[in-house]
């Protein structure tokens, strides 16, 4: 066996006093970290392949297991950190691009943590959401510039197709292929119960999701996988995916070994063939081409569905968002660079793009400067960890938020960042049948429903504290936000004042 | 009657049902003592067969017309008329294991006496069902003996 | 210290209004008596009145009321005004010395018509032209502030208790068919005259009690359409919302009121299909114009008087009818002191705006 230049990352600690040798961990670890000793009875562990997914820890009936960071010191060097050295060794061994899953783990500023919320005192009563109506219903879609009426009580305006959400939280795009059908089904069931939407990504629409198509967002991405007339029409709205926050500017690659019969049917590609999404849409080389594609999608759906355009947050995001809106997008989704992914080149994920907070703030302001903000919907994506993040995003100007990592965590994901290996022990980011069956949609959809229900309660509580009883009055209400420890420039871009001001 | 059914598509092969069955039928009712130190060690009434790809937990069916009851030579094996539960009176069982031989499902184990599922005989359902992490075991009226 | 416009100052208040539907004249002393009763609701940091029908001899001309803080501002502002309007008359607004009101600006009024050549060149319609001229002076001319710009109407305001402000401007010398009044209780003390209510643009004037929690949503919505919220007050933003909805979008006054105080979704979901569609469309299109938080607002105009209350009824507002007259006030007592036996008295509901249209048509040509 060749010498491995990289020390392992974790150590599995087994408390022998507690271990009952039931072997649960042995059977649950797809990385084969646990095994029976020669006696066939005693369970032992080797930690080389441990990714700290905690499957064994959480299932151990006696809590005999613990994962510890494996500490192996290098000579101190603030520049050549162990991580860079290890990555070099990995590349020296494989000659390949470094891949990883989930959003960037780098300590870039999280602006949500540097923004504080307001509450009412004296001059304005706070509202108790348990006693008073508290509205979080959100309507997405293109709005006419003005209402026309015959008289009070009778509208004569012709409304473009609208989407009513009972919460400003939607589930972001995750394709069948990148996640398991059971995971997708759980999200679909949760979306139906919550009155929100899930997004099938660019993986096509599996027939099992038929009961949930009125809650589905279907994507048209650069690979055009699974796109046909029925696909477009079996949806609540259609999203043209230009880019993804975790990997702006590059396409996607689902290796052939993951293209099972089911995946191949949904994507309409041969079984076992690599599913490669090109970096650009090869029919969109400029904004006017986007307009044509939007028009084509609207034609294909008989103008019955809003069309969304999802872009990655990049440097010139405000102008791009404005361009998308003018090209006919009814909804523009901005995906910040902390957003998750099933697999992305590490260098891209960790270095390309900008945070969603800044992108959202500048795009919202740009649309307002141009006087078109009220006619188009703006959706923010890219790592919302809790209800307060959602409230802050809406106050910065978002109509709704796309969340993916949070519902995945509710389903068992532990952010081990090895989605790309296809060995997800929680049955989420894998197509291996012995692993996907670990995710029972009947259990998991309820956990997702619980999570979003809890967030809804919290959003209402926060709004009530501000003296606001409709999310409409929170949207773009930046006076409810204050920065803490931010520079003048950051405050200017976010359009907020500093705490104490 | 309410019976336990195994859903093999959901079975993880984790075998925690066995761990919790042993615990439920132990003296201490403590998961560590029951599975590690108790003497005599309690036996699991449920057994998972298969591997990670296909597995299922096998349990007594509590047949409507149980062969084990008919075959029992001491009257230790009885079917409760009210609850339908088939169980062994360990004071009467002499360990002849005739029941083991006649059970068509292989769900009676041989110990010093016959060992079999008694549905935990408590209000809130059998321990294996309660502790199955993926709801691969269900305890329900529907289905009948042969589901 | 920063003054209003540089910083946002929440305030609580007292409001009152009287309208004669048939256009009968009401002396200023009546409204002063009404607002004076609610003395405790203001703290001497702002009071004001709006009066409609007070300049019949200039009824086809814009009446600009302007505060000047210094002579340079006076000169610069007049230069602008004379260039953009044909001014017929200019005078100091007559005032009387009142002990409690001091340190005031120089207060002038001008009557004039738009300069048609300039207006044509600007390619704006008349009302837009006037609004832009007013906005220009108020945002770019330091020390000059136009606080009234309608026709045959005028606002009178100052830092002080409202009854003192009424005495200062000698409002008992004016007769109007519609009066609104305001006493202010700001939670900060900049003492700027422009910050007092009513707030006015063209013929619209607003008095307002409350602090709206949707302020920045509303501000950022309305600023999309060329408005500039220079005052940072709730009243200003509500005025602009009405102006935009009624003047730019052509909505009837009662539909504009629905936009600001739209019913809750729970209620909308139970409505008949026609009304459900109306309110769903209204809320979808104007989500940024929904006003949230405690407020009671009285909107005066030459079309009539509109009173609205917030959706949760967090602020008091009482209405009363007596013959051709309608009365509104934050407290019922303020109505009864000038109208002891009204035909009908009720509390304005959050869900149902009250609109009292003026039954005479003023200025058909406008």
Residue A2: is its pLDDT beyond 80?
Answer: no
Per-residue confidence at A351, pLDDT binned at 50, 70, 90? very high
Residue A463: is its pLDDT beyond 60?
Answer: yes
Token pair in block for residue A5 = 């230049």
Token pair in block for residue C249 = 């979008």
Q: What is the DSSP code string of B9-55?
A: GG--S--HHHHHHHHHTSSS--HHHHHHT-SSPPPPS-EEEE-SSSE
Return d(Cα A355, Cα A346) in angstroms, integer: 17
Helices C234-243 and C215-222 pack at an angle, to 10 degrees, of: 40
Q: Are the C-beta atoms of residues A27 and A54 closer than 8 Å to each other?
A: no
CATH of the domain at B83: 3.30.70.20
Residue C363: is its pLDDT beyond 50?
Answer: no
Residue A200: is its pLDDT beyond 80?
Answer: yes
> Could A28 and B12 be called an inter-chain contact, meaning their C-beta atoms sit closer than 8 Å?
yes
* Beta carbon pairs, A and C, within 8 Å: 137
Residue C188: is its pLDDT beyond 90?
Answer: no
User: Tens digit of pLDDT for each residue in A392-405?
Assistant: 999 999 999 999 99
Over residues C138-161, mean pLDDT: 92
The per-residue pLDDT for C4 is: 57
CATH number, span C55-151:
3.30.70.260
**Residue A282: HSE in the Cβ half-sphere, 13 Å Cα cutoff:** 5
- How many other CB atoms are there within 10 angstroms of residue B81's CB atom? 6
Angle at C134 between CA C329 and CA C65, to 5 degrees: 55
The per-residue pLDDT for A278 is: 92
Token pair in block for residue C65 = 């009321």
Residue A41 touches partner C, C-beta closer than 8 Å: no
- For A:125-154, CB contacts with C below 8 A are 125, 127, 132-133, 135, 137, 139, 141, 143-149, 151-154
How large a percentage of chain A has pLDDT more than 90? 88
Token pair in block for residue A317 = 């995001």
Asked whether residue B90 falls in the same domain as residue B137, the answer is: no
The per-residue pLDDT for A310 is: 97
- List every span in chain A annotated with CATH 3.20.20.70: 138-145+167-476
Residues 6 or more apart whose Cβ sits within 8 Å of residue B86: B60, B62, B63, B66, B68, B69, B77, B78, B79, B80, B116, B118
Global confidence as pTM: 0.91
For residue A348, the surrounding DSSP H or E stretch is: helix A346-351
Token pair in block for residue C343 = 């035909």
Per-residue confidence at C11, pLDDT binned at 50, 70, 90? low
Distance from CA of B64 to the nearest CA of A (A): 31
Burial class (CB in 10 A: 0-12, 13-18, 19+), C239: buried
Q: What is the DSSP code string of A246-313?
A: TSTT--EEE-GGG--HHHHHHHTS-TT--EEE-SS-TT-SSHHHHHHHHHHHHHHTTT-S-EEEEEE-
Q: Are the C-beta atoms of residues C334 and C34 closer than 8 Å to each other?
A: yes
How large a percentage of chain A has pLDDT more than 70? 100
Q: Where are the alpha helices (DSSP H) in A370-475?
A: 387-396, 405-410, 433-436, 441-466
Write the secondary structure of A111-146 as one string of H (helix), E (strand) and C (coil).
Answer: HHHHEEECCCCCCCCCCCCCCCCCECCEEECCCCCC
Q: Quick one: which of A25, A53, A33 has its CA closest to A408? A: A53
Residue C2: is its pLDDT beyond 70?
Answer: no
Asked if the C11-50+174-357 domain carries CATH number 3.60.20.10, the reply is yes
- List every span in chain A annotated with CATH 3.30.70.20: 10-96
* Location of structure tokens 């009972």: A166
Residue A479 touches partner C, C-beta closer than 8 Å: yes
Of the given ranges (A10-14, A239-243, A461-465, C314-318), which has the lowest mean pLDDT?
A: C314-318
Asked whether residue B105 falls in the same domain as residue B123, the answer is: no
Return d(Cα B125, Cα B135) in angstroms, integer: 13
Asked whether residue B1 falls in the same domain as residue B52, the answer is: yes
Over residues C273-299, mean pLDDT: 93
The per-residue pLDDT for C365 is: 40
Residues 6 or more apart whose Cβ sits within 8 Å of residue B6: B56, B57, B58, B59, B136, B137
Asked whether residue B112 falls in the same domain as residue B122, the answer is: no
Q: Whole domain around residue B97: which residue ranges? A: 62-116
Of the given ranges (A2-11, A160-169, B131-140, C307-316), which has the lowest mean pLDDT?
A: C307-316
User: Tens digit of pLDDT for each residue in B65-116?
Assistant: 999 999 999 999 999 998 899 999 989 999 999 999 999 999 999 988 999 9
User: Tens digit of pLDDT for each residue in A276-313?
Assistant: 899 999 999 999 999 999 999 999 999 999 999 999 99
Return d(Cα A148, Cα A158) in angstroms, integer: 9
What residues in C contact A467, CB-CB < 8 Å?
A: 213, 292-294
Higher-confidence position of A71 and B122: A71
Q: Quick one: which of C5, C45, C66 has its CA closest to C236? A: C5
What residues in B contact A440, CB-CB < 8 Å?
A: 10, 134-136
CATH of the domain at B47: 3.30.70
Architecture (CATH level 2) of domain A138-145+167-476? Alpha-Beta Barrel (3.20)
C339 annotated active-site: no
Residue A472 touches partner C, C-beta closer than 8 Å: yes
Return d(Cα A137, Cα A384) in angstroms, integer: 19
- Report the chain B residue with the minimal C-alpha distance to residue A25: B14
Return d(Cα C315, Cα C291) in angstroms, integer: 13
Per-residue confidence at A254, pLDDT binned at 50, 70, 90? confident
Residue A362: is its pLDDT beyond 60?
Answer: yes
With H, G, I as helix, E, B as strand and everything else as coil, classify residue A52.
coil
Q: Tell me the domain boundaries of chain C.
A: 11-50+174-357, 55-151
Residue C191: is its pLDDT beyond 90?
Answer: no
User: Tens digit of pLDDT for each residue in C85-109?
Assistant: 999 999 999 999 988 888 889 999 9
Domain count, chain B: 2
User: Tens digit of pLDDT for each residue in A475-485?
Assistant: 999 999 999 99
Distance from CA of C364 to the nearest CA of A (A): 22
Asked whether residue B87 falls in the same domain as residue B36, the answer is: no
| Domain pair C11-50+174-357 / C55-151, same fold | no
Return d(Cα A429, Cα A55) in angstroms, integer: 14
CATH number, span A10-96:
3.30.70.20
Over residues C279-301, mean pLDDT: 93
């Amino acid at each position: 066996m060749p010498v491995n230049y990289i020390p392992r990352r974790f150590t599995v600690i087994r408390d022998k006093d507690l271990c009952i040798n039931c072997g649960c961990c042995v059977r649950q670890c797809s990385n084969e970290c646990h095994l029976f000793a020669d006696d066939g009875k005693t369970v032992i562990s080797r930690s080389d392949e441990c990714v700290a997914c905690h499957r064994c820890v959480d299932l151990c009936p006696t809590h005999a297991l613990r994962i510890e960071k494996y500490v192996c010191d290098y000579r101190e060097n603030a520049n050549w950190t162990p991580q860079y050295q290890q990555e070099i060794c990995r590349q020296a061994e494989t000659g390949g691009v470094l891949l990883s899953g989930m959003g960037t783990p780098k300590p870039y500023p999280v602006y949500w943590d540097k923004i504080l919320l307001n509450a009412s005192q004296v001059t304005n009563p706070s509202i108790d959401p348990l006693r008073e109506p508290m509205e979080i219903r959100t309507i997405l879609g293109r709005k006419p510039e003005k209402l026309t009426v015959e008289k009070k009580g009778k509208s004569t305006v012709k409304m473009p197709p609208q989407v009513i959400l009972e919460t400003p939280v939607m589930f972001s795009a995750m394709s069948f292929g990148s996640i398991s059908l059971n995971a997708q089904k759980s999200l679909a069931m949760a979306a139906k119960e919550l009155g929100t939407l899930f997004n099938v990504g660019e993986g096509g629409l599996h027939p099992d999701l038929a009961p949930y198509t009125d809650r589905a967002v279907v994507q048209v991405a650069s690979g055009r996988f699974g796109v046909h007339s029925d696909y477009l029409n079996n949806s609540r709205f259609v999203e043209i995916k230009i880019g993804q926050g975790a990997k702006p500017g590059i396409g996607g690659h689902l290796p052939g070994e993951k293209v099972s019969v089911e995946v191949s049917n949904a994507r309409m590609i041969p079984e076992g063939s690599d599913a490669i999404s090109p970096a650009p849409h090869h029919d969109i080389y400029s904004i006017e081409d986007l307009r044509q594609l939007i028009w084509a999608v609207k034609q294909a759906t008989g103008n019955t569905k809003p069309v969304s355009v999802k872009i990655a947050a990049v440097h010139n995001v405000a102008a791009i968002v404005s361009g998308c809106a003018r090209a006919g997008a009814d909804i523009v989704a901005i995906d910040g660079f902390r957003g998750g992914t099933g697999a992305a080149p590490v260098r891209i994920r960790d270095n390309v793009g900008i945070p969603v907070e800044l992108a959202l703030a500048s795009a919202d302001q740009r649309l307002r400067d141009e006087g078109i903000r009220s006619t188009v919907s703006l959706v923010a994506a890219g790592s919302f960890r809790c209800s307060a993040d959602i409230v802050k995003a809406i106050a910065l100007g978002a109509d709704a938020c796309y969340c993916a990592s949070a519902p995945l965590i509710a389903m068992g994901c532990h952010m081990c960042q090895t989605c790309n290996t296809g060995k997800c022990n929680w049955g989420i980011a894998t197509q291996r049948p012995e692993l996907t069956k670990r995710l029972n949609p009947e259990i998991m959809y309820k956990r997702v429903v619980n999570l979003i229900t809890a967030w809804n309660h919290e959003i209402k509580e926060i709004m009530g504290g501000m003296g606001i009883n409709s999310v409409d009055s929170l949207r773009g209400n930046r006076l409810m936000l204050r920065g803490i420890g931010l520079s003048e420039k950051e405050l200017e871009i976010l359009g907020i004042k500093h705490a104490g001001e | 009657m309410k019976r336990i059914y195994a859903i093999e598509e959901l079975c993880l092969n984790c075998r925690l049902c066995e761990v919790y069955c042993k615990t439920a039928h132990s003296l201490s009712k403590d998961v560590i003592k029951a599975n590690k130190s108790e003497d005599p060690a309690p036996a699991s009434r449920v057994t998972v067969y298969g591997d990670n790809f296909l597995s299922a937990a096998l349990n007594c069916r509590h047949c409507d017309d149980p062969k084990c009851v008919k075959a029992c030579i001491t009257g230790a094996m009885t079917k409760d008329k009210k609850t339908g539960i088939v169980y062994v009176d360990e004071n009467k069982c002499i360990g002849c294991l005739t029941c083991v031989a006649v059970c068509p499902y292989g769900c009676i184990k041989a110990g010093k006496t016959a060992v079999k599922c008694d549905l935990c005989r408590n209000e809130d359902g059998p321990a294996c069902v309660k502790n199955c992490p993926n709801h691969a075991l269900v305890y329900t009226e529907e289905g009948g003996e042969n589901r | 210290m920063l003054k209003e416009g540089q910083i946002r100052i929440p305030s609580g208040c007292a409001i009152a209004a009287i309208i004669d539907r048939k256009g009968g004249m009401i002396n200023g002393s009546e409204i002063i008596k009404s607002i004076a009763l609610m003395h405790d609701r203001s703290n001497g940091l702002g009071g004001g009145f709006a009066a409609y029908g007070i300049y019949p001899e200039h009824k086809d001309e814009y009446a600009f009321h302007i505060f000047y803080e210094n002579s340079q501002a006076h000169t610069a502002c007049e230069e602008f005004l004379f260039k953009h309007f044909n001014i017929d008359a200019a005078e100091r607004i007559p005032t009387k010395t009142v002990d409690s009101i001091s340190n005031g600006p120089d207060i002038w009024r001008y009557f004039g018509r738009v300069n048609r050549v300039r207006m044509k060149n600007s390619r704006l319609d008349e009302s837009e032209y006037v609004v832009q001229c007013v906005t220009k002076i108020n945002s770019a001319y330091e020390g000059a502030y136009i606080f009234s710009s309608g026709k045959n109407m005028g606002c009178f305001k100052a830092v002080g208790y409202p009854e003192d402000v009424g005495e200062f401007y000698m409002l008992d010398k004016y007769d109007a068919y519609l009066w609104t009044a305001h006493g202010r209780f700001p939670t900060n003390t900049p003492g700027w005259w422009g910050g007092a209510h009513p707030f006015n643009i063209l013929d619209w004037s607003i008095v307002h009690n409350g602090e709206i929690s949707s302020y920045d949503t509303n501000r950022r919505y309305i600023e999309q359409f060329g408005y500039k919220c220079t005052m940072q007050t709730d009243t200003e933003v509500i005025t602009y919302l009405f102006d935009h909805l009624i003047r730019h979008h052509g909505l009837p006054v009662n539909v504009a009121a629905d936009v600001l105080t739209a019913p809750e979704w729970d209620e909308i979901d139970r409505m008949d299909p026609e009304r459900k569609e109306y309110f769903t469309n209204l809320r979808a299109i104007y989500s940024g114009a929904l006003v949230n938080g405690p407020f009671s607002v009285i909107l005066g105009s030459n079309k009539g008087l509109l009173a609205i209350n917030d959706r949760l009824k967090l602020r008091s507002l009482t209405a009363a009818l007596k013959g051709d007259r309608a009365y509104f006030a934050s407290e019922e007592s303020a109505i009864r002191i000038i109208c002891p036996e009204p035909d009908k008295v009720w509390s304005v509901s959050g869900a149902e705006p009250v609109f009292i249209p003026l039954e005479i048509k003023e200025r058909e040509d406008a």
